[in-house]
Amino acid sequence: MPDTFLDKDTPANRFARAREAQAAALLEDYVEMIGDLTAELGEARVADIAERMNVSQPTATKSIARLKREGLATSRPYRGVFLTDEGARLADRVRARHRTVVAFLVRMGVPEEIAELDAEGIEHHVSQVTLSAFEAVLKGEDPA
């Protein structure tokens, strides 16, 4: 499994790697949100996506176009947005990772609300190895 979900290959140094993770982050957020909206409302509409992401509707449309290009979502003009199988799998992994990071931070003594805020940025940079370490801590196999 790759370190970040959308990575293809491993970049040269830590800065290049962080840049790649960042590029994937936005797509990950959109995919997760579209998954959430679909589960809640049966479909993900552009207006709802834009509202939850706190961006304007044209910005959401543009990002959705990118999701489609990347094979993560589909949509027809003036219709809702849906995840492809690949998009849905990605959404599941992103959601699980998010939950793990939040739970871990809370376990470390971070207040729920702040954990939620910080996790939003942190989660996209947590490698599989680190995620497993977090899970181990949560399971009580405390390494400290």
* 54: Cα within 13 Å, side-chain hemisphere: 2
Nearer to a second copy, 22 or 57 (CB): 22
Q: Kindly state whether residue 126 participates in binding a second copy, applying the rule CB under 8 A.
A: yes
Cβ 95 to DNA, closest distance in Å?
A: 19
Which of 1, 8, 9, 15: binder of a second copy (CB under 8 A)? 15
Cβ 124 to DNA, closest distance in Å?
A: 11
Identify the CA nearest to 30 among candidates 114, 76, 94: 94
Q: Kindly state whether residue 76 participates in binding a second copy, applying the rule CB under 8 A.
A: no
Nearer to a second copy, 11 or 68 (CB): 11
Residues 25-44 that bind a second copy (CB under 8 A): 25, 29
Q: Kindly state whether residue 17 participates in binding a second copy, applying the rule CB under 8 A.
A: yes
Q: Kindly state whether residue 48 participates in binding a second copy, applying the rule CB under 8 A.
A: no
Instruction: Calculate the CA 37 to chain-centre distance.
Output: 14
Could you list the residues that contact a second copy (CB under 8 A)? Answer: 3, 11-18, 21-22, 25, 29, 52-55, 105, 107-111, 114-118, 120-122, 124-127, 129-130, 133-134, 136-137, 140, 142-144
